[in-house]
Chains A and B, each alone.
Chain A
């Protein structure tokens, strides 16, 4: 089956939360085969590399197979946290979009939900 390198946004959704200077970002696959892909390739190391430029020092990954979800807990990613950060987005709420964009995985057509605009990429 044809594989195309695409942002994980094609096969999963995410939400970011904050506690102090710690960001947590969930990554939830739409479909079972998408879950298998993120579970094997969305590693702590891969995620740390995506947030290193923001100061992240450590990532812990938690798995919830029953919910097709991963949870990443990212230390020191929020510029000091909501009460001391100089960033426009003091909570780091937009960091979920950063993960969805920057984590690029080899994706097959059947991992993508029906009606997704990403399916067009396989038509060319």
Chain B
């Protein structure tokens, strides 16, 4: 019998359902083959926030949701040899590992052996100037800003190296999401660096898993057109990876959701640009000749993944503070509501000008195509003048007080605006902007270290 490796994904973003991994763990208890549970909980901007926490308290800076994800499944994973792989370390992977040990102690269970991957934090070995002089691939000019976080995307090899040390859990910081699956596959199948089609296929598998239920029927339902059974209990994905590079995407028994060619194809292209060149540190994966086959109910077999040599440089995300956003909303409903909402928007814009608030401002009308058009554009949908409309205004300013002034103008519509405005809400939030740069591997590689706790 050929070797199979099972990988489940228990979270697809920071704040994803905390109990989603429980059915995966239940399913894995029936399986004796190698099995891994990944949690992808680190978005681009999450790291800048995590860095701030670490600066305030060196013990912190790991995912604020660590306890919620790890507590329900730690004991079962250790008992059943299910290895956990996660970027839950965020800005402080060592701190995350220590916290997991504390949870184990509290639960009175065996302390897990944890491998921690360090080396993604460029601020530890590059100066501000060195970072800023690196070529920018996307994003804003940062030359006048203080960098609050700079992290390079590591690949799957450090995860595989950590697994070689016979650990129960691997904690990483910034690492490409798909590597959370590719790492275990590299370790289990001992692929050589030139087996690029297999590494490409493992990357595609990781890409399909990394957003959790987005491959198993979530983010898919369009009632009457694309129906998904029992969405409220959607099962998170499990991949069964075979040594020939093919794999099946499925989900735990007794869960809701749907695994079909359509759900898999939507997720395959999610956040993909050129499908023949999906770039990660380990490989340039190629999806163009993929074949999807039905393999039973809620089982899709994926074949034909390929790969070429990896890109020369590594991508890093840098973050910087970017002022404050004010956001405020107020509703108008019933007869002539659209006209009143538009008048409210105009009043806000005029008042902001009168107050001399310099900055970009946007006014949109929720109910009138707000997410596709601004207030001044004519939407292609037919709108009734009577209805239920909500004006939303947002603007970014260098100072908090300016953002507060803008939202105060929206709140003042309670007394100074058109007739019958209600349900106003207003917020000011600190903004962090990001840019992507390219860095040389030779600079990063010597700084990648595996610590065992």
Contact = CB atoms under 8 A, between A and B. Distances in A.
B423 to A, nearest CB: 16
Interface in A45-73: 53-54, 60, 62, 64, 66-69, 71, 73
B284 interface: no
A67 B269 CA distance: 11
Nearest to A13: B226
Interface stretch (B14-22, B68-76, B344-352, B368-376): B368-376
Interface stretch (B81-89, B159-167, B240-248, B390-398): B390-398
A4 to B, nearest CB: 17
A18 B271 contact: yes
Nearest to A54: B372
A55 B282 CA distance: 34
Interface residues of A, number: 42
Nearest to A25: B269
Given A24-B272, A67-B290, A87 B371 contact: yes
Nearest to B395: A86
B361 A86 contact: yes
A94 B372 contact: yes
Interface string B359-390: 01110101000111100010011000000000
A97 to B, nearest CB: 8
Interface residues on B, range: 35 or more
A13 B222 contact: yes
Contacts of B372: 54, 94-95, 97-98
Contact of B432 (A20, A62, A79, A83): A83
A53 B371 contact: no
Contact of B364 (A9, A26, A87, A98): A87
A26 to B, nearest CB: 4
A97 B269 CA distance: 16
Contact of A26 (B265, B290, B380, B395): B265
B224 interface: yes
Contact of B431 (A20, A84, A87, A116): A84
Given A53-B377, A84-B322, A15 B267 contact: yes
A103 to B, nearest CB: 11
B233 interface: no
A22 interface: yes
Contacts of B272: 17, 24, 26, 71
B138 A21 contact: yes
B344 to A, nearest CB: 16
A84 B360 CA distance: 11
Contacts of A116: 224-225
B262 A86 contact: no
Interface string B58-84: 000000000000000000000000000
Contact of A83 (B265, B292, B322): B322
Nearest to B224: A117
Contacts of B361: 86
Given A53-B377, A67-B265, A15 B219 contact: yes
B426 to A, nearest CB: 14
Contact of B287 (A64, A68, A87, A117): A64
A88 B275 CA distance: 29
A20 B139 contact: yes
B290 A86 contact: no
Nearest to A96: B266
Contacts of B226: 13
22 contacts: A13-B266, A15-B219, A15-B220, A15-B267, A17-B272, A20-B434, A24-B269, A24-B272, A26-B269, A28-B266, A60-B273, A64-B288, A66-B288, A68-B265, A69-B269, A83-B44, A86-B395, A88-B370, A89-B371, A94-B371, A97-B372, A98-B372
Interface of A: 9, 13-15, 17-22, 24, 26, 28, 30, 53-54, 60, 62, 64, 66-69, 71, 73, 79, 81-84, 86-89, 94-95, 97-98, 101-102, 116-117
Given A26-B269, A79-B362, 12 more contacts: A20-B436, A26-B265, A26-B270, A53-B377, A54-B372, A68-B265, A69-B269, A87-B364, A88-B370, A89-B371, A95-B372, A117-B225
